[in-house]
Amino acid sequence: MTEKRNALPARGLRIGVDTGGTFTDICLYDPASGTLQVWKISSSNADPSEAIVAGIREVLQVSGQPAGDVAYVGHGTTVATNALIEGRTARTALLTTAGFRDVVEIGRQTRPTLYDLQVRKVTPLASRDLRLELDERVRFDGSVAKALNPRQVLERVAQLEAAGVEAVAVGFLFSHLAPEHEATVAKILEERLPNVFVSTSHQVAAEYREFERFSTTLVNAALGPVMRDYLGRLQPRLAALGVAAAPRLTQSNGGIISASHAAQYPVKTVLSGPAAGVVGAVEVARAAGIGDIITFDMGGTSSDVSLTRNGAASLSTRASVHGHPLKVPQLDIHAVGAGGGSIARVDAGGLLKVGPASAGAWPGPVCYGQGNLEPTVTDANVVLQVLNPTHLLGGRMPINRGQAVEAIDRLAQSLGMDLFETAQGILSVVTANMAKAIRVISIERGHDPRDFVLMAFGGAGPLHAARLARELEIRRVLVPRNPGILCAMGLLLSDARTHFAKGCLLRLDEAGGAALEQGFDGLEQQACDWFEQEAIAVEARQVKRFVDARYAGQAHELLIESPPGPIAADWLARVRQAFELEHRQIYGFDAANEPIHVIAMRVEATGKVDKAVLVEQPLASGDVAEARVGQREVWYPQVRGFVATPIYDRERLGAGHSLNGPAIIEQMDSTTLVLEGQRATVDRYLNILIEEQGE
């Protein structure tokens, strides 16, 4: 019998921790009092667990709470992502069907950059000498054409042992229909090489398309030892601090999973941190009465954007992370290398380029005074005095504006431009980069960004949101109460969630109905088993069905939510209607008389948990003038000079307060810029709504 894991707690202190490239954010929620404590600390990129434990220790000290009262620790992590980007993966091998060892290298034969003759594809995570073949074969219908030879498997295992591999991915042709061969190989590997991480494709991505399935399995295997070692360091450190609760990690789909599940399927955590931010943004917007938002999460290294309709984040089943295709359900998030630490340089053509290289947490922007000499986006904001030129984090981090001025002046001289125009140029370039990312997830998918509210968060999001909104002609911007730690807050607003999938090739009609019914029954049984393993109460369980559907002959499919209940004529008609509606949204047309094929069935299993509560606040009794703490000369491109700009303390702004731009609103975890012609109003949840005035 499968061992049950600890049930999600309903009482006790709840902590959300999000690790970013520059800062680690901590959010402490006390359900008994409803109080929320937020904290930021510089990330420890060599070992993120060090900053996590240090941050939790500090926030507990500030709040006066004992570590023993912590009942829940939710964690958004970049460990998997950074390992892929930096090439710090395990020594990994691939066992596959004879003749298919090069699938992961050949791929789809598409050029990442069409007109670049020097383009290089990402090197596979298993080198060719570690991609070994087995003489087995399963046909397209799941029948066995050639049985697996156990003696040959033992020979391959001996080769892998001699090569000193740390992880093995097992991927056979059509194993998503008949997984027996993979299961046999995995059992032998686990017996003969007990310390080697083993990942099989039918468990990681039981779906059609061998290239994406093999790639996903290979990534999962290569990240397995990395995640296992990381969690092996984090959990003892939390225990030494006095925190008994085992950490739970955010998946790329926005749901939380146990540490043991994350260790087994690390590929599910590749977009862990950004996904938590989207979950938090959706919940904050829902409380504020806003359903359609574009999330804009700008941190120190990147900007992550996503589009949400009717209060539901978009889900995708395809992604590419650092050139590696992944076939796992995830929130539809598009990232671009545009963050506060993005470095500004002159490119080979003599033009200004910003990012994707980043100064990270160490040495960080020039103004941090930690040895970096290359100017960043943060330095540009400090030079223009949009950002506080003396300190950040409520005074805990000193800022050296003089060093930032020197760095940008060197860049200005190489460009033949003025100091302040160069600094503004950096902001203009990074704004254009972020606007391009938003157009990808809106205009290119049939949505007008002007119909949405821009939800700005992350440490740098509110600082750039007003300019970005104007670039896209978006008239409203929503800034949550604690934008700099919203990803950490999202961990306290997330449910337990995972997905199960089964590949198929069925017509969406009565002839395929029985097979669809049988497939969903099997997936829902897997969901039930997972609920039991995670000790989720029966009344807290929720299951949703999805299908991957396409017209006959199409190369790509659409993810369609399907209704519960028996698969009969009404069910088939509703799914077809939903598919045609989505097809019109994405492609601008539908083909009413064309047959529809289902190539995958999916089940989303959700365990509802007690979450942090967003509470309405009473209207402020004092005047907004009481929140004004001074003014600062800020450089604006419209006047090509400095303008005296009032500074407001976010802590002193209450529900109902409003102010006109230009203005700057400062708080510990972020800074919000309000431009001339914009008006900022604080709502009952202490969010700031920035709106364009006039025509």
Q: Say whether 106 sits in a helix, a strand or coil.
A: helix
| Confidence (pLDDT) at 1 | 29
d(CA 94, CA 117): 30
| Confidence (pLDDT) at 116 | 79
Four-residue CA torsion sign, 275, 276, 277, 280: positive
| Confidence (pLDDT) at 11 | 66
Which single residue is written with the structure tokens 């938002």?
293
Nearest alpha carbon to residue 135 among 144, 126, 143: 144
Among the CATH numbers 3.30.1490, 1.10.540, 3.30.300, 3.30.420, which is that of 497-607?
3.30.1490
d(CA 607, CA 609): 6
Domains 84-227 and 272-336+434-472 share a fold: no
Per-domain residue ranges of the chain: 84-227, 272-336+434-472, 342-429, 497-607
Q: Say whether 100 sits in a helix, a strand or coil.
A: coil
Contact 21, 361 (CB under 8 A): yes
pTM of the entire structure?
Answer: 0.86
Which single residue is written with the structure tokens 């080769």?
159
What topology does CATH give the domain 272-336+434-472? Nucleotidyltransferase; domain 5 (3.30.420)
Nearest alpha carbon to residue 257 among 249, 247, 246, 245: 249
pLDDT in tens, 258-292: 899 899 999 999 888 788 899 999 999 999 999 99
Cα dihedral 298, 304, 307, 310 in deg (nearest 10): -60
| Confidence (pLDDT) at 489 | 87
Stretches in the chain below the pLDDT threshold 50: 1-7, 9-10
d(CA 361, CA 393): 14
| Confidence (pLDDT) at 189 | 96
Four-residue CA torsion sign, 234, 238, 239, 245: negative
Question: What integer best gives the mean pLDDT of the chain?
Answer: 91
| Confidence (pLDDT) at 85 | 74
Which CATH number describes the domain made up of 84-227?
A: 3.40.50
pLDDT in tens, 347-357: 888 899 998 88
| Confidence (pLDDT) at 7 | 47
d(CA 245, CA 229): 19
Q: Do the bridges between strand 688-692 and strand 678-682 make them parallel or antiparallel, or are there none, so unpaired?
A: antiparallel
Contact 382, 367 (CB under 8 A): yes
